[in-house]
Amino acid sequence: MTHNLLKGKKGIIFGALNDKSIAWKVAEKAVEEGATITLSNTAMAIRMGDFEKLGEQLQAEVIPADATSVEDLETVFRRSMEVLGGPVDFVLHSIGMSPNVRKKRTYDDLDYNMLSKTLDISAISFHKMLQTAKKMDAIAEYGSVLALSYVAAQRTFFGYNDMADAKSLLESIARSFGYIYGREKNVRINTISQSPTPTTAGSGVKGMEHLMDFANKMSPLGNASADECADYCVMMFSDFTRKVTMQNLYHDGGFSSMGMSLRAMNQYSKSLDEYTDENGHIIYG
Ligand SMILES: NC(=O)c1ccc[n+]([C@@H]2O[C@H](COP(=O)([O-])OP(=O)(O)OC[C@H]3O[C@@H](n4cnc5c(N)ncnc54)[C@H](O)[C@@H]3O)[C@@H](O)[C@H]2O)c1
Protein backbone atom coordinates (compact mmCIF):
# COMPACT_ATOMS: atom_id res chain seq x y z
CA MET A 1 0.00 0.00 0.00
CA THR A 2 1.43 3.37 -0.94
CA HIS A 3 0.72 6.72 0.70
CA ASN A 4 2.43 9.07 -1.76
CA LEU A 5 4.61 10.27 1.09
CA LEU A 6 7.35 11.37 -1.30
CA LYS A 7 5.19 12.67 -4.13
CA GLY A 8 7.19 15.17 -6.20
CA LYS A 9 10.38 14.66 -4.19
CA LYS A 10 13.78 13.99 -5.71
CA GLY A 11 16.53 11.96 -4.11
CA ILE A 12 19.86 10.19 -4.40
CA ILE A 13 20.38 6.67 -3.06
CA PHE A 14 23.97 5.56 -2.45
CA GLY A 15 24.84 1.92 -1.74
CA ALA A 16 22.38 -0.47 -3.41
CA LEU A 17 24.36 -3.55 -4.38
CA ASN A 18 21.80 -6.34 -4.76
CA ASP A 19 18.21 -7.03 -3.73
CA LYS A 20 19.31 -7.77 -0.16
CA SER A 21 20.85 -4.29 0.29
CA ILE A 22 19.04 -1.91 2.58
CA ALA A 23 19.56 0.83 -0.04
CA TRP A 24 17.90 -1.34 -2.70
CA LYS A 25 14.74 -1.59 -0.58
CA VAL A 26 14.83 2.14 0.16
CA ALA A 27 15.17 2.94 -3.56
CA GLU A 28 12.18 0.75 -4.43
CA LYS A 29 10.05 2.14 -1.64
CA ALA A 30 10.98 5.78 -2.32
CA VAL A 31 9.88 5.43 -5.96
CA GLU A 32 6.73 3.56 -4.89
CA GLU A 33 5.95 6.55 -2.65
CA GLY A 34 6.20 8.97 -5.57
CA ALA A 35 9.85 10.07 -5.62
CA THR A 36 12.17 10.28 -8.61
CA ILE A 37 15.72 9.24 -7.85
CA THR A 38 19.23 8.62 -9.07
CA LEU A 39 21.34 5.70 -7.87
CA SER A 40 25.04 5.61 -7.13
CA ASN A 41 27.64 2.99 -6.24
CA THR A 42 31.25 2.19 -7.15
CA ALA A 43 31.98 1.27 -10.76
CA MET A 44 32.92 -2.20 -9.55
CA ALA A 45 29.69 -2.69 -7.61
CA ILE A 46 27.74 -1.55 -10.68
CA ARG A 47 29.56 -4.13 -12.80
CA MET A 48 29.17 -6.92 -10.25
CA GLY A 49 25.67 -6.26 -8.92
CA ASP A 50 22.22 -6.28 -10.50
CA PHE A 51 22.36 -2.55 -10.51
CA GLU A 52 21.38 -1.82 -14.10
CA LYS A 53 18.23 -3.87 -13.56
CA LEU A 54 17.24 -1.72 -10.59
CA GLY A 55 17.94 1.44 -12.59
CA GLU A 56 15.67 0.24 -15.39
CA GLN A 57 12.95 -0.92 -13.01
CA LEU A 58 12.88 2.44 -11.22
CA GLN A 59 13.72 4.59 -14.26
CA ALA A 60 16.65 5.93 -12.29
CA GLU A 61 19.95 7.03 -13.77
CA VAL A 62 22.91 5.12 -12.37
CA ILE A 63 25.91 7.32 -11.60
CA PRO A 64 29.18 5.58 -10.71
CA ALA A 65 31.14 7.09 -7.81
CA ASP A 66 33.64 6.09 -5.20
CA ALA A 67 32.16 7.84 -2.15
CA THR A 68 35.67 8.62 -0.85
CA SER A 69 36.34 10.81 -3.92
CA VAL A 70 35.07 14.39 -3.67
CA GLU A 71 35.39 14.71 -7.44
CA ASP A 72 33.12 11.67 -7.96
CA LEU A 73 30.62 13.03 -5.44
CA GLU A 74 30.53 16.36 -7.28
CA THR A 75 29.66 14.43 -10.44
CA VAL A 76 26.83 12.60 -8.66
CA PHE A 77 25.27 15.80 -7.31
CA ARG A 78 25.76 17.72 -10.57
CA ARG A 79 24.32 14.97 -12.74
CA SER A 80 21.46 14.30 -10.30
CA MET A 81 20.43 17.96 -10.36
CA GLU A 82 20.53 17.85 -14.17
CA VAL A 83 18.38 14.74 -14.60
CA LEU A 84 16.04 15.39 -11.67
CA GLY A 85 15.64 19.09 -12.45
CA GLY A 86 17.11 20.90 -9.45
CA PRO A 87 18.33 20.35 -5.89
CA VAL A 88 17.38 17.05 -4.27
CA ASP A 89 15.09 16.61 -1.26
CA PHE A 90 16.73 13.53 0.20
CA VAL A 91 19.98 11.57 0.23
CA LEU A 92 20.68 8.10 1.61
CA HIS A 93 24.23 7.11 2.61
CA SER A 94 24.11 3.32 2.85
CA ILE A 95 27.81 2.59 2.58
CA GLY A 96 30.10 0.53 4.76
CA MET A 97 33.24 -1.55 4.36
CA SER A 98 36.18 -2.60 6.52
CA PRO A 99 39.29 -4.10 4.91
CA ASN A 100 40.39 -5.22 8.42
CA VAL A 101 37.18 -7.23 8.81
CA ARG A 102 37.59 -8.64 5.31
CA LYS A 103 41.19 -9.67 5.99
CA LYS A 104 40.22 -11.04 9.42
CA ARG A 105 42.53 -8.65 11.31
CA THR A 106 41.40 -8.52 14.93
CA TYR A 107 40.88 -5.22 16.80
CA ASP A 108 44.15 -5.66 18.71
CA ASP A 109 46.06 -6.30 15.47
CA LEU A 110 44.67 -3.69 13.11
CA ASP A 111 46.45 -2.66 9.96
CA TYR A 112 46.41 1.14 10.14
CA ASN A 113 46.24 1.72 6.41
CA MET A 114 43.20 -0.49 6.39
CA LEU A 115 41.76 1.38 9.39
CA SER A 116 42.10 4.64 7.43
CA LYS A 117 40.19 3.01 4.57
CA THR A 118 37.47 1.77 6.91
CA LEU A 119 36.99 5.25 8.33
CA ASP A 120 37.17 6.94 4.94
CA ILE A 121 34.67 4.64 3.23
CA SER A 122 32.26 4.11 6.12
CA ALA A 123 32.26 7.51 7.84
CA ILE A 124 34.30 10.32 6.29
CA SER A 125 32.53 9.71 2.96
CA PHE A 126 29.42 10.99 4.76
CA HIS A 127 31.20 14.25 5.57
CA LYS A 128 32.47 14.48 2.00
CA MET A 129 28.94 13.95 0.73
CA LEU A 130 27.50 16.67 2.97
CA GLN A 131 30.29 19.17 2.34
CA THR A 132 30.08 18.63 -1.43
CA ALA A 133 26.29 18.98 -1.43
CA LYS A 134 26.40 22.14 0.67
CA LYS A 135 29.04 23.82 -1.49
CA MET A 136 27.03 23.00 -4.61
CA ASP A 137 23.74 23.94 -2.95
CA ALA A 138 22.50 20.54 -4.10
CA ILE A 139 20.01 19.84 -1.29
CA ALA A 140 16.73 21.78 -1.12
CA GLU A 141 15.45 23.57 2.04
CA TYR A 142 14.11 21.04 4.56
CA GLY A 143 15.89 18.29 2.68
CA SER A 144 16.57 15.12 4.64
CA VAL A 145 19.85 13.20 4.73
CA LEU A 146 20.20 9.77 6.32
CA ALA A 147 23.09 7.42 6.99
CA LEU A 148 22.83 3.89 8.35
CA SER A 149 24.50 3.04 11.63
CA TYR A 150 24.71 0.22 14.17
CA VAL A 151 24.50 0.07 17.98
CA ALA A 152 28.19 -0.97 18.10
CA ALA A 153 28.81 2.80 18.00
CA GLN A 154 27.67 2.90 21.65
CA ARG A 155 28.38 -0.62 22.94
CA THR A 156 31.03 -3.22 22.25
CA PHE A 157 30.06 -6.19 20.10
CA PHE A 158 32.39 -9.09 19.55
CA GLY A 159 33.65 -9.16 15.96
CA TYR A 160 32.37 -5.74 14.87
CA ASN A 161 35.97 -4.56 14.97
CA ASP A 162 36.95 -1.16 13.54
CA MET A 163 33.48 -0.70 12.05
CA ALA A 164 32.43 0.30 15.59
CA ASP A 165 34.83 3.25 15.41
CA ALA A 166 33.54 4.13 11.95
CA LYS A 167 29.93 4.13 13.16
CA SER A 168 30.80 6.37 16.15
CA LEU A 169 32.41 8.84 13.75
CA LEU A 170 29.49 8.60 11.33
CA GLU A 171 27.00 9.49 14.09
CA SER A 172 29.20 12.36 15.26
CA ILE A 173 29.37 13.77 11.71
CA ALA A 174 25.55 13.68 11.55
CA ARG A 175 25.40 15.85 14.68
CA SER A 176 28.21 18.27 13.79
CA PHE A 177 27.08 18.81 10.20
CA GLY A 178 23.42 18.71 11.22
CA TYR A 179 23.96 21.85 13.27
CA ILE A 180 25.53 23.80 10.41
CA TYR A 181 23.29 22.56 7.59
CA GLY A 182 20.20 22.98 9.75
CA ARG A 183 21.09 26.51 10.81
CA GLU A 184 21.88 27.65 7.29
CA LYS A 185 19.54 25.67 5.04
CA ASN A 186 17.04 23.85 7.25
CA VAL A 187 18.52 20.58 6.01
CA ARG A 188 18.13 17.76 8.53
CA ILE A 189 20.70 15.04 9.06
CA ASN A 190 20.12 11.84 11.00
CA THR A 191 21.46 8.32 11.35
CA ILE A 192 19.28 5.22 11.62
CA SER A 193 20.74 2.51 13.84
CA GLN A 194 19.45 -0.67 12.25
CA SER A 195 19.12 -4.26 13.59
CA PRO A 196 21.59 -6.82 12.23
CA THR A 197 20.30 -7.57 8.71
CA PRO A 198 21.26 -10.37 6.30
CA THR A 199 23.00 -8.40 3.51
CA THR A 200 26.39 -8.67 1.81
CA ALA A 201 28.01 -6.20 4.24
CA GLY A 202 26.20 -7.81 7.19
CA SER A 203 27.49 -11.28 6.36
CA GLY A 204 31.09 -10.00 6.76
CA VAL A 205 30.58 -9.58 10.52
CA LYS A 206 32.02 -12.48 12.51
CA GLY A 207 29.32 -14.77 13.93
CA MET A 208 26.58 -12.82 12.11
CA GLU A 209 24.01 -15.63 12.31
CA HIS A 210 24.36 -15.93 16.09
CA LEU A 211 24.35 -12.16 16.48
CA MET A 212 21.11 -11.95 14.52
CA ASP A 213 19.53 -14.69 16.60
CA PHE A 214 20.66 -13.05 19.86
CA ALA A 215 19.38 -9.63 18.80
CA ASN A 216 16.10 -11.17 17.73
CA LYS A 217 15.66 -12.94 21.09
CA MET A 218 16.56 -9.78 22.99
CA SER A 219 14.23 -7.45 21.08
CA PRO A 220 10.59 -7.34 22.18
CA LEU A 221 9.55 -6.61 18.59
CA GLY A 222 12.20 -8.86 17.01
CA ASN A 223 14.83 -7.73 14.51
CA ALA A 224 13.83 -5.04 12.03
CA SER A 225 14.11 -6.22 8.41
CA ALA A 226 15.60 -4.30 5.48
CA ASP A 227 12.04 -3.68 4.20
CA GLU A 228 11.01 -2.21 7.54
CA CYS A 229 14.15 -0.07 7.53
CA ALA A 230 13.11 1.25 4.12
CA ASP A 231 9.71 2.23 5.54
CA TYR A 232 11.45 4.18 8.30
CA CYS A 233 13.78 5.90 5.81
CA VAL A 234 10.80 6.95 3.67
CA MET A 235 9.14 8.46 6.72
CA MET A 236 12.34 10.32 7.55
CA PHE A 237 12.51 11.67 3.98
CA SER A 238 8.88 12.79 4.15
CA ASP A 239 7.46 16.11 5.37
CA PHE A 240 6.18 14.41 8.54
CA THR A 241 9.61 14.62 10.17
CA ARG A 242 10.63 18.16 9.31
CA LYS A 243 11.93 19.02 12.77
CA VAL A 244 13.89 15.82 13.41
CA THR A 245 17.61 16.39 13.06
CA MET A 246 21.02 15.50 14.55
CA GLN A 247 19.58 12.26 15.97
CA ASN A 248 20.71 8.68 16.03
CA LEU A 249 17.38 6.87 15.65
CA TYR A 250 17.23 3.26 16.77
CA HIS A 251 15.33 0.99 14.43
CA ASP A 252 15.98 -2.28 16.20
CA GLY A 253 12.77 -3.68 17.70
CA GLY A 254 13.76 -2.32 21.13
CA PHE A 255 17.15 -4.06 21.34
CA SER A 256 19.12 -0.96 22.38
CA SER A 257 17.00 -0.46 25.52
CA MET A 258 17.14 -4.08 26.68
CA GLY A 259 19.42 -5.65 29.28
CA MET A 260 18.12 -9.23 29.30
CA SER A 261 14.96 -10.81 27.94
CA LEU A 262 13.17 -13.99 28.95
CA ARG A 263 13.84 -15.56 25.56
CA ALA A 264 17.56 -14.76 25.66
CA MET A 265 17.81 -15.96 29.31
CA ASN A 266 16.11 -19.21 28.36
CA GLN A 267 18.55 -19.77 25.50
CA TYR A 268 21.52 -18.90 27.70
CA SER A 269 20.48 -21.32 30.43
CA LYS A 270 20.56 -24.24 27.97
CA SER A 271 24.34 -24.26 28.08
CA LEU A 272 26.01 -22.99 31.21
CA ASP A 273 29.37 -24.63 30.54
CA GLU A 274 32.22 -22.14 30.77
CA TYR A 275 33.76 -21.17 27.43
CA THR A 276 37.34 -22.43 27.46
CA ASP A 277 40.32 -22.35 25.10
CA GLU A 278 42.20 -25.46 23.93
CA ASN A 279 44.15 -25.51 27.22
CA GLY A 280 41.00 -25.52 29.29
CA HIS A 281 41.40 -21.91 30.48
CA ILE A 282 38.17 -19.96 30.86
CA ILE A 283 37.76 -17.16 28.31
CA TYR A 284 35.94 -14.17 29.75
CA GLY A 285 34.24 -11.95 27.20
N1 LIG B 1 23.49 -5.44 7.45
C2 LIG B 1 23.51 -5.07 8.72
O3 LIG B 1 23.44 -5.89 9.65
C4 LIG B 1 23.55 -3.60 9.08
C5 LIG B 1 23.15 -3.18 10.36
C6 LIG B 1 23.24 -1.82 10.68
C7 LIG B 1 23.75 -0.93 9.74
N8 LIG B 1 24.13 -1.37 8.50
C9 LIG B 1 24.69 -0.41 7.54
O10 LIG B 1 23.84 -0.31 6.42
C11 LIG B 1 24.61 0.20 5.33
C12 LIG B 1 24.30 -0.63 4.09
O13 LIG B 1 24.80 -1.93 4.21
P14 LIG B 1 23.99 -3.23 3.79
O15 LIG B 1 23.86 -4.05 5.00
O16 LIG B 1 22.79 -2.89 3.00
O17 LIG B 1 25.07 -4.02 2.88
P18 LIG B 1 25.47 -3.90 1.34
O19 LIG B 1 26.71 -4.71 1.21
O20 LIG B 1 24.34 -4.29 0.48
O21 LIG B 1 25.79 -2.35 1.12
C22 LIG B 1 27.04 -1.76 1.37
C23 LIG B 1 27.32 -0.86 0.18
O24 LIG B 1 28.48 -0.05 0.35
C25 LIG B 1 29.00 0.16 -0.95
N26 LIG B 1 30.37 0.69 -0.92
C27 LIG B 1 31.48 0.09 -0.39
N28 LIG B 1 32.55 0.87 -0.62
C29 LIG B 1 32.11 1.99 -1.28
C30 LIG B 1 32.74 3.15 -1.77
N31 LIG B 1 34.06 3.35 -1.64
N32 LIG B 1 31.98 4.06 -2.41
C33 LIG B 1 30.64 3.89 -2.58
N34 LIG B 1 29.99 2.80 -2.12
C35 LIG B 1 30.72 1.86 -1.49
C36 LIG B 1 28.93 -1.25 -1.53
O37 LIG B 1 29.16 -1.30 -2.94
C38 LIG B 1 27.54 -1.66 -1.12
O39 LIG B 1 26.59 -1.27 -2.09
C40 LIG B 1 26.07 0.17 5.77
O41 LIG B 1 26.44 1.44 6.25
C42 LIG B 1 26.03 -0.81 6.92
O43 LIG B 1 27.11 -0.65 7.83
C44 LIG B 1 24.03 -2.69 8.15
**pLDDT tens profile 76-102:** 999 999 999 999 999 999 999 999 999
139 DSSP β-pair partners: 88
Q: What per-residue confidence (pLDDT) applies to 252?
A: 98
pLDDT tens string 118-148: 999 999 999 999 999 999 999 999 999 999 9
Q: What is the mean pLDDT of residues 243-265?
A: 96
Q: How far is CA 125 from CA 28, 54, 95, 173, 253, in A?
A: 23, 23, 9, 10, 28
- The string over 64-97, giving b where at least 16 C-beta atoms fall within 10 Å of a residue's C-beta and e elsewhere, is bbbbbeeebbbbbbebbbeebeebbbbbbbbbbb
Inter-residue long-range contacts of 131-138, CB under 8 Å, 24+ positions, other chains counted: 131/70, 131/177, 132/70, 132/73, 132/74, 132/77, 133/77, 133/91, 134/180, 134/181, 134/184, 134/185, 134/187, 136/74, 136/77, 136/78, 136/81, 137/87, 138/77, 138/78, 138/80, 138/81, 138/87, 138/88
Tell me the pLDDT tens digit for each residue of 19-75: 999 999 999 999 999 999 999 999 999 998 788 889 999 999 999 999 999 999 999
In the prediction, which pLDDT does 193 show? 98
Residue 201 has pLDDT above 90, yes or no: no
User: What separation in angstroms does the CA of 20 have from each of 17, 27, 97, 227?
Assistant: 8, 12, 16, 9
Rounded Cα gap, residues 94 and 224, in angstroms: 16
Q: Which CATH superfamily is domain 10-269 in?
A: NAD(P)-binding Rossmann-like Domain (3.40.50.720)
Tell me the average pLDDT across 10-24.
Answer: 96
Please choose, from the candidates 74, 191, 69, the residue with its C-alpha nearest in 3D space to the C-alpha of residue 121.
69
Residue of 13, 17, 122 to mutate, ligand 1, most atoms within 8 A of C-beta: 17
* Ligand 1 pocket member 150 (CB < 6 A): yes
Q: For residues 153-175, give the mean pLDDT.
A: 97
Tell me: pLDDT of 280 over 90.
Answer: no
Whether pLDDT at 206 is above 80: no
Q: Which atom of ligand 1 is nearest to the CA of 203?
A: 1
pLDDT value of position 285: 62
Task: Please tell me if the CB atom of residue 21 comes closer than 6 angstroms to any atom of ligand 1.
Answer: yes
Mean pLDDT over 203-217 rounds to 89
Residues forming beta bridges with residue 37, ordered by sequence position: 11
Q: Is the CB of 97 under 6 A from ligand 1?
A: yes
Output the CA 97–ligand 1 centroid distance in Å.
7
Q: Any long-range contacts for 197-203 (C-beta under 8 Å, 24+ apart)?
A: 197/22, 197/223, 197/224, 197/225, 197/226, 197/229, 198/20, 199/17, 199/20, 199/21, 199/22, 199/226, 200/17, 200/18, 200/20, 200/21, 201/96, 201/97
What is the number of the ligand 1 atom nearest to the C-alpha of 149?
A: 7
Q: Which of 148, 154, 228, 255 to mutate to test the pocket of ligand 1 (most atoms within 8 A of CB)?
A: 148
Q: Cα(268)–Cα(244) distance, rounded to whole angstroms?
A: 38
Structural Rg of the chain based on CA atoms? 19
